[in-house]
């Protein structure tokens, strides 16, 4: 006799055979249990001879196996083979022998082919049928696909499209178990009932929820890594136009900063701080498995779920692209059953949050005259404005330039989707149209998006699917922030321009700045906003097809092929009325054309094995081979000196001067990866993964990188000693470690290369000569930046899941940073890209979710807070890197923002402003060659503690830091009857913003800020606005000179402000019209709402908005507010309709 049910009995056979047999047996038992096949004795011809009449069951089994082809199986816990049975005859057929042997026992048997199975007879009692309907306890809607199983057996059914089920039970004592993802499992004893009505309550903790992870899904309870998950329906709860914006404040560890308020502008998303100095810190975006897609073009309504992978256990599976975290997005698919048609509309108005306080025309003219009076070197100077003029402003007012360029702008959003399907095929088709006008005149953004997701079961084993998404984005926006020159930037100039100047001059042309006081060298802000014609077009196509083949039970293969193509086609033309296109020698205009095509191809071959062995061993393994090819072709040009302003950039032949550029590159990534998840009794969980990435951009000596990770988790709540406490619905401890990479190397970056564009008219006369020069040296050792991350986490759920929390601590060490390392300059090349340098990020993130009220009045609340501390550890031998944070005109060319070894990111360096000298401090001021009323600076003591009474480079110190101490988000959802109210608060604490615009808004020769009125006078000494001191007074004071020697004095702490804020990001009040009112006209659901975005912001920051970042080419330059497009407040009305 062989007991086949123990794995260990096949020591000499190959693993494969073993697995095969086990699978076969398991199948048989499944069939038995599920279909309740009754024991049927086939007429068996072979006679068996038994040696004794009274035998043990095991002896009978052995006799049958040895004398026939039959093999006998049983479950050892159900069948006691040592019991003594009676045989009626010592030579008989197999069937009659078994019948007589089992008579009087609780066992019966089944013969299938050459297999005989023993089982307890009470499994095989006459069934009775139980039916019923399963509904959602809160909405009373029928639930489709609920699992109904008889407790203690494998027998089960699922509920149908109407939420109905029918199951046969054999025992009145049976208990039915109703389970459904997202709902609390119910157990109901049959107790003789033939009809059972079931209500399932939504599971607040959602531990059974399935979470998308890289290359697969996992039950939330089985996760060992740090992953934040946001449901699509939560994202679109608030009327946001963009996914990245909707993500703000939603997930712990995720910092989202709107770089500017312009429609269609970018956001910075950082997951657990920033690792890289030059390689980029953008998270990898993966949409339906396709890597490298973009969030801007994605219609938020198409999202089923969004997951943020944070720790190495979750991200290492993305290897050399995973270091900055991964955002996984899964788009919706149709569900089998009734077709659903959904339409939603919202329409809103946006307004500037606040205007910068500037002087009116009268104050402005009087301040200008005060300044004019200072220049009394050669007698009494002429005032800039006559009394008559000032009187005129008093009567007629002046120009409010901010009113001239900002407006109330509408935003319109339509969404239509249809979804549905059958057992065989499921579909979702959706379309969206967004038209957002900007609050700055002549700015807008439009997005058309279309999606079709279709999947079909071709055979029982093979399914296929196709997701296609297309979008067209178009927009128009003039210069703002750090793009272009401030000489023509309306955002910069509007608050600075003189209110005494009208928009148009007497001839109807755009006015010029008035001489004397004010920004004399700049261009009319209204012209700068209205006249440029900028047309930005981007068309994206994402196609993604898959074929899935269930090879064997638990083993499946999924082959995915996808492509993203992005076509950009941008035009701009600045006519003769603009600064850029102003006439030169009878010719006018300036224009650009920028075209590019980028394509990404991805093929992923994914083999998944997912099985449970015995009651307690659950194993999942994946094996993946993947290839990714990215290509880019682009060309652009700029043209100036057009003969005709009418045709402009659309007739390039009319341009006298054109500069052309073009480029092409390609990168390839070949990868192999594997991951194993093992869980024992859902208590002890282990995950291990490894990815090997071969990348074309890595240097010849480092073509392949390897990225391992491992993590463990212990679900303490599954231990009996915790279970008996009855307090914890969930308690899990997690730990993970892993290595990820960042391949911020441009294609061919490891090679020495010639660069073009170094032209020079070497031959003479009028034509240039195309020049080539050696642009960089090669580095065959170039490789990825590597980030090793350790994470410890704890998940807690109490009060049946009504209160749950997740806390994570992490530390990330990034090494091999890609930095330009110095070469001796006599080599002719200044630097070489090399893997030097390190940074570190440490942090804690906490998220709490709770349901304080679950009755008729419901309150659901989610709070998250994140603390991140980053440090520059090594810069490859350099002590600091410095960043230029100006485009000229603001005196920040050198080293205002720095990355220094041992210091955090975002350090601002400059002089500390201590306000102004008081009259009582006249003697001390004189030591610096200053008078009372002059700006007072911190004179930093030297190493010996002495001060030198000079303000120069040695007094430069840290005057601010752009990194927040913490960021947080708090979502609240209240519902009562048909009303629901959602409130999202979000904020940042402890970050400084350098309000660069103030340098000139409050400057002596041109300032327009109302702060100018607060300038120092003997009666107003408590101010940081310096006094207006005239030439003669200053000369008469006979002060020492040369004491104040500040190069670029704009870098001082007077402009550093606390950028902390708390914001009611969104508040939405919705009313769902009762079904009874609308069902008769065929509407399933109708919800109307009123919503406000950015309605309230609590901050001390004096600029347009504290959430601002003007320089985004490096994270080392965050926290500067330089003429950025102001963020708007928005009120929106909307409706959601479901047919």
Pick out residues in 474-533 that bind another protein (CB under 8 A).
521
Which of positions 331-350 make contact with another protein (CB under 8 A)?
none
Contact 581, 616 (CB under 8 A): no
Q: Which is nearer to another protein, 226 or 588 (CB)?
A: 588
Q: Which is nearer to another protein, 825 or 1080 (CB)?
A: 825
Q: How many residues bind another protein (CB under 8 A)?
A: 73
The CA distance from 991 to 962, in Å, is 5
Helices (H), 965-1079: 998-1001, 1031-1036, 1075-1078
Q: Which stretch binds another protein (CB under 8 A): 95-103, 140-148, 826-834, 1109-1117?
A: 826-834
Q: Which of 605, 952, 1010, 1112 binds another protein (CB under 8 A)?
A: 605
- Closest by CA to 845, choosing from 866, 864, 862, is 866
Q: Which is nearer to another protein, 20 or 535 (CB)?
A: 20
**Least gap, CB of 587 to another protein (angstroms):** 9
Residue 312: strand, helix, or coil: helix
Contact 215, 625 (CB under 8 A): no
Q: Does 1041 bind another protein (CB under 8 A)?
A: no
**Least gap, CB of 925 to another protein (angstroms):** 26
**Least gap, CB of 630 to another protein (angstroms):** 11
Which of positions 662-701 make contact with another protein (CB under 8 A)?
663-666, 668, 670, 694-698, 700
Q: Does 199 bind another protein (CB under 8 A)?
A: no
Q: Does 765 bind another protein (CB under 8 A)?
A: yes
Q: Does 629 bind another protein (CB under 8 A)?
A: yes
Q: Does 828 bind another protein (CB under 8 A)?
A: yes
Structure tokens at 516: 């004397």
Q: Which is nearer to another protein, 625 or 1139 (CB)?
A: 625
**Least gap, CB of 693 to another protein (angstroms):** 10
**Least gap, CB of 807 to another protein (angstroms):** 39
Q: Exposed e or buried b for every residue in 865-886, given b needs 16+ CB within 10 A? A: bbbbebbbebbbebeebbbebb
Helices (H), 216-360: 232-235, 243-246, 312-315
Q: Which of 379, 508, 726, 764 binds another protein (CB under 8 A)?
A: 764
Q: Which of 280, 392, 621, 747 binds another protein (CB under 8 A)?
A: 747
Strands 704-715 and 913-916 turn out to be unpaired
Q: Does 627 bind another protein (CB under 8 A)?
A: yes
Q: Which is nearer to another protein, 357 or 780 (CB)?
A: 780
Backbone phi and psi for residue 153, each to the nearest 5 degrees, phi listed first = -135, 175
- Interaction pattern, residues 830-849, with another protein; x per rule: CB under 8 A: x-x-----------------
- Closest by CA to 19, choosing from 4, 33, 30, 34, is 4
Contact 1068, 981 (CB under 8 A): yes
Give the max Cα distance, the chain: 140
Q: Which is nearer to another protein, 537 or 627 (CB)?
A: 627
Q: Which is nearer to another protein, 603 or 952 (CB)?
A: 603
Q: Does 462 bind another protein (CB under 8 A)?
A: no
**Least gap, CB of 13 to another protein (angstroms):** 10
Q: Does 17 bind another protein (CB under 8 A)?
A: yes
Element (H, E) at 922: helix 922-927
Q: Which stretch binds another protein (CB under 8 A): 152-160, 438-446, 584-592, 903-911?
A: 584-592
Q: Does 943 bind another protein (CB under 8 A)?
A: no
Q: Does 568 bind another protein (CB under 8 A)?
A: no
Sign of torsion over alpha carbons 388, 394, 395, 397: positive
C-alpha distances in Å from residue 1094, one per residue of 6, 105, 240, 265, 1133: 64, 76, 11, 17, 15
Which of positions 98-117 make contact with another protein (CB under 8 A)?
none
Q: Does 941 bind another protein (CB under 8 A)?
A: no
Instruction: List residues bridging with 841 in a β-sheet.
Output: 812, 870
Q: Which is nearer to another protein, 751 or 1133 (CB)?
A: 751
Q: Does 752 bind another protein (CB under 8 A)?
A: yes
The CA distance from 268 to 680, in Å, is 41
Q: Which stretch binds another protein (CB under 8 A): 769-777, 924-932, 1005-1013, 1124-1132?
A: 769-777
Backbone phi and psi for residue 733, each to the nearest 5 degrees, phi listed first = -110, 135
Q: Does 703 bind another protein (CB under 8 A)?
A: yes
**Least gap, CB of 98 to another protein (angstroms):** 24
Q: Which of 1, 5, 21, 722 binds another protein (CB under 8 A)?
A: 21
Q: Does 191 bind another protein (CB under 8 A)?
A: no
Q: Which stretch binds another protein (CB under 8 A): 362-370, 397-405, 578-586, 707-715?
A: 578-586
C-alpha distances in Å from residue 681, one per residue of 343, 420, 536, 722: 45, 37, 56, 15
Q: Which residues contact 1082 (CB under 8 A, 6 or more apart)?
A: 1139
Q: What is the DSSP string of 155-169?
A: -EEE--TTSEEEEEE
Q: Which stretch binds another protein (CB under 8 A): 434-442, 612-620, 762-770, 796-804?
A: 762-770
Strand ranges for 508-616 from DSSP E? 533-552, 555-574, 588-613
Q: Which of 826, 946, 1022, 1076 binds another protein (CB under 8 A)?
A: 826
Q: Which of 680, 772, 857, 1098 binds another protein (CB under 8 A)?
A: 772
Q: Which is nearer to another protein, 166 or 700 (CB)?
A: 700
Contact 971, 862 (CB under 8 A): yes
Q: Which is nearer to another protein, 542 or 750 (CB)?
A: 750
Q: Does 942 bind another protein (CB under 8 A)?
A: no
Q: Does 12 bind another protein (CB under 8 A)?
A: no
**Least gap, CB of 751 to another protein (angstroms):** 6
Q: Does 1040 bind another protein (CB under 8 A)?
A: no
Sign of torsion over alpha carbons 313, 317, 320, 325: negative
Strands 880-883 and 913-916 turn out to be unpaired
C-alpha distances in Å from residue 622, one per residue of 222, 307, 464, 689, 951: 16, 20, 20, 9, 64
Strand ranges for 614-703 from DSSP E? 617-642, 655-680, 684-695
Q: Which of 576, 623, 854, 1039 binds another protein (CB under 8 A)?
A: 623
Element (H, E) at 60: helix 57-67
Residue 65: strand, helix, or coil: helix
Q: Which is nearer to another protein, 510 or 737 (CB)?
A: 510
**Least gap, CB of 285 to another protein (angstroms):** 22
Q: Does 379 bind another protein (CB under 8 A)?
A: no
Helices (H), 312-357: 312-315
Q: Which is nearer to another protein, 509 or 1098 (CB)?
A: 509
Q: Which is nearer to another protein, 10 or 799 (CB)?
A: 10
Which of positions 1080-1109 make contact with another protein (CB under 8 A)?
none
Q: Does 773 bind another protein (CB under 8 A)?
A: yes
Q: Which is nearer to another protein, 106 or 666 (CB)?
A: 666
Q: Exposed e or buried b for every residue in 1092-1110, given b needs 16+ CB within 10 A? A: bbbeebebebbbbbbbbbb
Q: Which is nearer to another protein, 312 or 673 (CB)?
A: 673
Strands 91-93 and 47-49 turn out to be antiparallel
Tell me the CA end-to-end span of the chain in Å, nearest whole number: 64
Q: Which is nearer to another protein, 766 or 1022 (CB)?
A: 766
Q: Does 774 bind another protein (CB under 8 A)?
A: yes
């Amino acid at each position: 006799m062989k007991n086949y049910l123990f794995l260990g009995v096949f020591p000499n056979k190959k693993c494969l055979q073993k697995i095969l047999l086990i699978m076969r047996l398991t199948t048989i038992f499944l069939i038995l249990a599920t279909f309740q096949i009754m024991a049927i004795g086939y007429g068996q011809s072979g006679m068996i001879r038994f040696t004794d009449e009274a035998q043990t069951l095991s002896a009978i089994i052995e006799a049958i196996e040895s004398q026939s082809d039959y093999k006998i199986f049983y479950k050892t816990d159900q069948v006691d083979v040592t019991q003594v049975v009676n045989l009626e005859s010592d030579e008989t057929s197999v069937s009659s022998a078994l019948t007589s042997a089992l008579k009087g026992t609780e066992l019966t048997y089944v013969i299938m082919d050459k297999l005989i199975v023993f089982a307890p007879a009470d499994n095989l009692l006459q069934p009775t049928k139980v039916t019923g309907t399963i509904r959602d306890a809160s909405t009373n809607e029928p639930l489709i696909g609920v699992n109904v199983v008889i407790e203690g057996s494998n027998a089960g059914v699922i509920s149908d499209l109407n939420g109905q089920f029918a199951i046969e039970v054999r025992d009145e004592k049976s208990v039915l178990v109703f389970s459904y993802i997202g709902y609390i499992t119910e157990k109901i004893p049959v107790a003789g009932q033939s009809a059972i009505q079931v209500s399932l309550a939504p599971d607040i903790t959602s531990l059974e929820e399935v979470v998308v992870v890289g290359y697969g899904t996992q039950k939330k309870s089985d996760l060992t890594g740090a992953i934040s998950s946001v449901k699509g329906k939560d994202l679109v709860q608030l009327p946001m136009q963009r996914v990245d914006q909707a993500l703000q404040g939603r997930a712990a560890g995720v910092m989202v900063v709107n770089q500017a308020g312009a429609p269609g502008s970018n956001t910075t998303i950082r997951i657990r701080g920033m690792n890289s100095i030059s390689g980029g810190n953008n998270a990898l975006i993966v949409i339906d498995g396709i890597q490298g897609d973009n969030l801007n073009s994605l219609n938020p309504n198409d999202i089923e779920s969004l997951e943020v992978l944070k720790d190495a256990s979750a991200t290492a599976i993305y290897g050399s692209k995973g270091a900055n975290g991964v955002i996984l997005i899964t788009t919706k698919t149709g569900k089998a059953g009734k077709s659903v048609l959904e339409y939603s509309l919202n329409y809103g108005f946006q307004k500037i949050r606040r205007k910068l306080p500037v002087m009116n025309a009268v104050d402005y003219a009087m301040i200008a005259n005060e300044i004019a009076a200072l220049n009394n070197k050669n007698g009494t100077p002429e005032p800039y404005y006559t009394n008559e003029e000032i009187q005129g402003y008093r009567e007629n007012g002046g120009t409010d330039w901010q009113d001239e360029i900002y407006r109330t702008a509408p935003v319109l959003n339509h969404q239509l989707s249809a979804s549905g399907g059958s057992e065989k095929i499921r579909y979702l088709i959706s379309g969206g149209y967004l038209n957002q006008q900007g609050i700055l005149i002549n700015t807008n953004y439009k997005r058309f998006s279309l999606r079709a997701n279709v999947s079909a079961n071709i055979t029982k084993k093979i399914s296929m699917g196709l997701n296609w998404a297309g979008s067209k984005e178009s927009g128009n926006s003039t210069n703002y922030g750090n793009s272009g020159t401030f000489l023509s930037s309306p955002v910069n100039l509007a608050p600075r321009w003189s209110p005494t100047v009208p928009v148009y001059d007497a001839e109807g042309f755009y006015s010029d700045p008035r001489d004397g006081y004010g920004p004399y060298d700049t261009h009319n802000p209204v012209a700068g906003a209205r006249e440029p014609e900028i047309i930005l077009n981007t068309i994206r196509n994402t196609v993604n097809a898959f074929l899935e083949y269930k090879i064997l039970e638990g083993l499946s293969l999924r082959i995915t092929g996808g492509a993203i193509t992005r076509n950009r086609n941008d035009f701009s033309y600045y006519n003769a009325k603009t600064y850029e296109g102003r006439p030169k020698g009878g010719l006018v205009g300036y224009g650009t054309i920028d075209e590019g095509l980028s394509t990404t191809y991805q093929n992923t071959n994914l083999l998944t094995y997912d099985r449970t062995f015995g009651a307690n061993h659950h194993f999942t393994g994946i094996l993946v081979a993947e290839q990714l090819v990215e290509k880019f072709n682009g060309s652009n040009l700029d043209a100036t000196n057009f003969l005709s302003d009418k045709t402009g950039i659309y007739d390039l032949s009319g341009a006298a001067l054109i500069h052309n550029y073009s480029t092409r590159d390609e990168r390839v990534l070949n990868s192999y990866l594997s991951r194993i998840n093992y869980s024992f009794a859902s208590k002890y969980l282990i995950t291990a993964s490894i990815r090997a990435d071969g990348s074309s951009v890595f240097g010849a000596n480092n073509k392949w990188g390897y990225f391992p990770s491992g993590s463990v988790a212990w679900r303490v709540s599954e231990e009996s000693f915790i279970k008996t406490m009855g307090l914890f619905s969930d308690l899990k401890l997690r730990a993970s470690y892993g290595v990820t990479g960042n391949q911020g190397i441009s294609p061919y970056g490891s090679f020495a290369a010639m660069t073009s564009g170094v032209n020079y008219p070497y031959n003479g006369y009028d034509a240039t000569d195309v020049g080539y020069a050696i642009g960089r040296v090669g580095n065959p050792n170039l490789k990825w930046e590597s980030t090793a991350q350790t994470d410890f986490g704890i998940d807690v759920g109490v009060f049946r899941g009504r209160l749950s929390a997740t806390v994570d601590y992490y530390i990330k060490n990034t090494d091999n940073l890609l930095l330009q390392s110095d070469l001796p300059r006599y080599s002719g090349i200044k630097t070489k890209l090399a893997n030097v340098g390190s940074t570190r990020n440490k942090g804690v993130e906490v998220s709490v979710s709770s349901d304080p009220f679950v009755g008729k009045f419901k309150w659901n609340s989610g709070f998250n807070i994140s603390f991140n501390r980053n440090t520059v550890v090594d810069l490859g031998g350099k002590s600091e890197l410095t960043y230029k944070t100006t485009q000229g005109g603001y005196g920040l060319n050198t080293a205002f923002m720095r990355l220094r070894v041992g210091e955090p990111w975002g350090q601002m360096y400059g002089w500390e402003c201590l306000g102004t000298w008081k009259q009582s401090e006249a003697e001390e001021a004189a030591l610096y060659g200053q008078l009372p009323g002059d700006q007072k600076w911190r004179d930093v003591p030297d190493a010996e503690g002495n001060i030198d009474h000079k303000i120069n480079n040695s007094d430069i110190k840290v005057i601010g830091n752009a990194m927040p101490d913490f960021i947080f988000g708090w979502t609240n959802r209240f519902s009562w009857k048909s009303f629901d109210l959602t409130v999202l608060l979000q904020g940042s604490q402890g970050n400084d913003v350098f309000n660069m615009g103030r340098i000139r808004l409050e400057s002596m020769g041109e300032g327009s800020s109302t702060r100018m009125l607060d300038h120092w006078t003997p009666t107003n000494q408590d101010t940081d606005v310096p006094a207006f001191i005239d030439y003669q007074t200053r000369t008469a004071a006979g002060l020492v000179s040369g004491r104040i020697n500040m190069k670029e004095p704009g870098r001082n702490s007077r402009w550093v402000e606390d950028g902390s804020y708390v914001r009611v990001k969104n508040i939405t009040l919705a009313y769902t019209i009762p079904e009874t009112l609308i069902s008769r006209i065929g509407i399933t659901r109708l919800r109307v709402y009123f919503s406000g975005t950015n309605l309230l912001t609590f901050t001390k920051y004096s600029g347009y908005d504290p959430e601002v970042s003007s320089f985004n080419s490096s994270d080392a330059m965050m926290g500067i507010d330089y003429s950025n497009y102001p963020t708007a407040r928005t009120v929106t009305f909307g409706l959601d309709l479901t047919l």
